[in-house]
Amino acid sequence: MIPHGKHILILGGGVIGVACAHYLHQAGYQVTVIDQHTIAGACSHGNCGYVCPSHVLPLTEPAAIGIALRSLFNPNAPFYVKPTLDPETLKWFWQFAKRCRHKSMIASGRPLKAILDASMAAYHQLVKEEGLKCEWRDSGLLYVLRSQRAMADFAATDQLLTREFNVSARRIEGPELCSLDPSLKPGLAGAFLYETDTMLRPERLCREWRERLMCRGVRFVESCEVLSAEKEADGIECVITSKGPMTADGYVLATGARSGQLGHLFGCYLPIQPGKGYSVTMPRPAICPSYPMLFPEHRVGVTPFQEGYRLGSMMEFVGFDEQIPSSRVEQLKRSAEPYLKQPHTDGQSETWYGWRPMTWDSLPAIGPASGLRNAYVATGHNMLGLSMAPATGKMIAAMIAGGEKYIEEICIVADSEKPIAPCGGCRQKLVEFSTPETVVTLAGLEGGCAQCTIGELLPDSFGPDHLLPS
């Protein structure tokens, strides 16, 4: 806990860093955000702009390791892993491969779902209260399939999402597609519309958000590279940057894909690899999509903005490569051609790449840095940084502020066929940090789910209300 009114230094000015700044300032802290380049100029800039609870399934799906192995021999694959002998990279992929199982996928998906849902609720409040002009649209996200086989495969995925995460889509058969969105070619097999997903323009969100925070006194420092940190007994004393030493009462590491390299400053190992993605933004075609779309068979996304039109895709594990090969740009355009009447236009306005901070279990690292009283991490959001930013900022602010320690809802997952209730000792601890009405979800990795309340788990329990006043 750091007292209100103190100074917090956030390392990293992407959407996660900006979100942390917002909620820390809202909690009563002085906040400075630094970035080695421009604020929100990296992975938070040119992505497709989806805010998507439907993306609850982590990258560690059972088929992922096979896709990765095949890509070793095809540098043009949408999912490409460059052969390497680097020990850290090999360790990461070994741990990733171990988690490419159904059980692990579902287990990782549950906390992702909680963060995604919390962020969506926070976004609705944030965009309205702040009046952010970021092209927010509650249009849903349309997954379009070419073949009947792909429709059947995706239907199975949708059933899994419904069963395990209560996320369901509206199924649309091929003949209905052209009337739903005239930009789509006839003859496509069908689509699935996740109506609770939304879209926004990420670079405008970050620009508007930053401007409002600057007006309230949040300080942003660009072209400021973190070089090292000086520690005292149980905390960080100051951070050494390319613009000199910077001192604060608390520090937040939110440096995205670079966090794996900088984690040692906070005394922690962060298993993060850069997953490179690309986009190309161009003028809107005459027949422009009405919906943001994903084409799973070709692994490409389409986002129609008010001014402009963006194609984005790829997942390359090639280290911190800074090139934008023209072949990848052309591949993006070709990948949209089987689906859209006008998949691209002349005169591209921007080509872009970004390094996503990929963890081997697809879960972000959010919380205190081990052994340091004044340091926290907020990183490793994989492809969902935009979708999870507000909830991450709220969690970091709550951890730093301390505040009331009450659980609103909890999910307990056990490696068993059936849901298992926690032991007596755990039930007592839960009672002390919740209310009798707190909802408890019990789940097993093999399926099955049950709900109850804390009061039902441990009736007539001893709690804080039984303590005598001091």
Per residue in 132-155, pLDDT (tens digit) is 999 999 999 999 999 999 999 999
Q: What is the pLDDT of residues 54-98, one digit of tens each?
A: 999 998 888 888 887 777 778 888 888 888 899 999 999 999 999
- Look at residues 288, 450, 292, 309 and name the one whose alpha carbon lies nearest to residue 386: 292
Res 77: pLDDT: 85
Res 470: pLDDT: 35
Res 40: pLDDT: 96
Greater pLDDT, 291 or 66: 291
Res 52: pLDDT: 95
Two tokens, residue 37: 């380049």
Res 432: pLDDT: 56
Q: Which residues have a Cβ under 8 Å from the Cβ of 430 and sit 6 or more positions away?
A: 407, 410, 422, 438, 440, 454, 457, 458
Res 415: pLDDT: 63
- Look at residues 169, 155, 61 and name the one whose alpha carbon lies nearest to residue 108: 61
Greater pLDDT, 415 or 223: 223
Two tokens, residue 131: 């009046």
Q: Report pTM.
A: 0.86
Name the pLDDT band for 468 (thresholds 50, 70, 90). very low
Res 311: pLDDT: 97
pLDDT (mean) for 382-401: 97
With 70 as the cut, is the pLDDT of residue 374 above it?
yes
Which domains are delineated in the chain? 7-398 (3.50.50.60), 407-466 (3.40.140.10)
With 50 as the cut, is the pLDDT of residue 310 above it?
yes
Q: What is the pLDDT of residues 6-32, one digit of tens each?
A: 999 999 999 999 999 999 999 999 999
With 60 as the cut, is the pLDDT of residue 48 above it?
yes
Greater pLDDT, 422 or 211: 211
With 90 as the cut, is the pLDDT of residue 279 above it?
yes
With 50 as the cut, is the pLDDT of residue 469 above it?
no
pLDDT (mean) for 185-211: 97
Res 404: pLDDT: 45
Q: Which of 196-200, 225-229, 311-315, 405-409 has the lowest mean pLDDT?
A: 405-409
Res 447: pLDDT: 63
Two tokens, residue 468: 């005598």
Res 343: pLDDT: 96
Name the pLDDT band for 306 (thresholds 50, 70, 90). very high
Greater pLDDT, 438 or 201: 201
Res 34: pLDDT: 98
Greater pLDDT, 347 or 446: 347
Res 467: pLDDT: 39
Query: CA-to-CA distance for 431 and 82, rounded, in angstroms?
Result: 50
Query: CA-to-CA distance for 294 and 284, rounded, in angstroms?
Result: 17
Res 446: pLDDT: 64
Q: What percent of the chain has pLDDT over 90?
A: 76
How does the average pLDDT of the chain come out, rounded?
Answer: 91
Q: What is the pLDDT of residues 445-463, one digit of tens each?
A: 666 678 888 888 777 665 5
